[in-house]
Amino acid sequence: MAQIAEQEDRAAKLTDSLDLQRQRALTTSTQRSPMASDTAVGREIRELRRVQRRTQKELARMVGVTGAQLHRYETGTTRIAASRLIAIANALDVRPDVLIAAGSAQGAPTLPAVALSSSAGDDIAELLQVFCTITDPKHRSALIAVARMMAG
């Protein structure tokens, strides 16, 4: 009888241990899953890479990851560690906060639509043409920041 009681006690402890392991696995997987901000950061990386006319493999080589891993970063499937984010920013010649800002802008309010005069369309077209000739992402970001500041 004592042996049966011991075996039942061991079985109960094993069951409790397995339940605890399952609970930890579920908690860990949900905490580490990519979020919308990860996807936004990845899109920003891809956009900056394309502006610089670099391939995924070129950027991956500069950063020290595989092309497949960089693809997962760009699609937001895999979260990016801070040290890797800094390496990517350096390779793209931007400050890390440019990439982080893309992720923190998720859910930010959009600018209200405004009625434009007919002459404003010409100005917008010219501004867009000039903007598209700026190849340095830092200069583009600075110009956007100035426009936002002037808008009020």
pLDDT at residue number 136: 86
Give the per-residue pLDDT at 97. 86
Domains of the chain: 36-104 (1.10.260.40), 118-151 (no CATH)
Distance CA 117, CA 136 (A): 31
pLDDT at 64 exceeding the cut of 90: yes
96 within 8 A of 30, measured Cβ to Cβ: no
Average pLDDT rounded to a whole number, residues 112-117: 55
Q: Residue 4: is it exposed, middle or buried by C-beta count within 10 angstroms (0-12/13-18/19+)? A: exposed
pLDDT of residue 60: 96
**Chain-centre distance for alpha carbon 24:** 26
**Interval 119-148: pLDDT, tens:** 677 788 888 888 888 888 888 888 887 777
Mean pLDDT of the chain: 80
pLDDT for res 130: 86
Question: pLDDT tens-digit profile of 11-50?
Answer: 666 667 666 666 665 554 455 677 888 899 999 999 999 9
What pLDDT band is residue 102 in, cutting at 50, 70 and 90?
A: confident
DSSP 135: -
